[in-house]
Amino acid sequence: MARGRFITLEGGEGAGKSTQLKRLVARLQSTGLEVVATREPGGSPGAEAIRELVLNGAADRWSPVTETLLMYAARRDHIERVIRPALTRGAWVVCDRFADSTRAYQGAAGGTDPGLIAALETHILEDVRPDLTLIFDFPPEAGLTRAAARPGAEMRFESKGMAFHERLREGFLAIAKAEPARCALVDAAGSIEDVEAAVWTAVQARLAAHG
């Protein structure tokens, strides 16, 4: 059986990834594909337990390096228990955040050594890499306002300050520029329908051979 495909959605706070993930999953399922929708940090029971540690509490609860290690502990469990088994059986996996979020949040915005992050990617991800990454670009001020309005929002990263979120946006834009074959930049400032159309266009263009 052919390996499934792996799509990740990335971007800053309040960029609309969760909404677009649901719409993309529905469109892919309508073509007859088995689709696994998941998220990070989290996605497996062990990773969800780590999510509670990372996303709650004071902004300075963890250093960026400690955050990086926690994120990769969660990511490894997620890969072992959910992502790799799904891809192996031929399912498509659509994930709200993956390794690029560590590069951007803990790396570009937080200051963790890129060499440490790269080493963790090599040893923890192994062959599990996204076939397509959709990077949602949205002004940080508007995104933080939107994020704060979400019911039950986990606000630890939102509380890190505007300078952090400006660096975060630049970090994601740098990733998109550095890896254009894998990454598609999506203007998330349009209507939900316009963003959905841009997402679907990118998926069809990059993964057309698979439906």
pLDDT of residue 209: 47
**Measured between alpha carbons, how far is residue 26 from residues 29, 31, 35, 115 in Å?**
5, 9, 9, 38
Contact (CB, 8 A) for 81 and 112: no
CB 199 within 8 A of CB 186: yes
- In whole angstroms, give the CA distance from residue 178 to residue 142: 26
pLDDT for position 60: 85
Q: Which residue has the tokens 């999506």?
A: 186
6-210: in CATH 3.40.50.1820: no
**Token pair for residue 104?**
């951007």
Of 30, 130, 46, 134, which is closest to residue 82 (Cα–Cα)?
Answer: 46
**Can you give the pLDDT at residue 159?**
66
pLDDT tens string, the chain, 211 residues long: the values are: 689 999 999 999 878 899 999 999 999 999 999 999 999 999 999 999 999 999 888 878 899 999 999 999 999 999 999 999 999 999 999 999 999 999 999 999 999 999 999 999 999 999 999 999 999 998 888 777 777 677 765 666 766 778 888 999 999 999 999 999 999 999 999 999 999 999 999 999 988 744 4
Q: Which two tokens stand for residue 125?
A: 């991800």
Q: Is 74 exposed, middle or buried (0-12, 13-18, 19+ CB in 10 A)?
A: buried
User: Order of strands, edge to edge, in the sheet holding 183-187?
Assistant: 35-39, 92-96, 6-11, 132-137, 183-187
pLDDT at 29: 96
Task: Give the number of residues written for the chain.
Answer: 211
Using CA atoms, how far apart are residues 160 and 70, in angstroms rounded to an integer?
Answer: 18
pTM of the model: 0.92
119 C-beta neighbours (distance < 10 Å), count: 11
At 210 the pLDDT is: 46
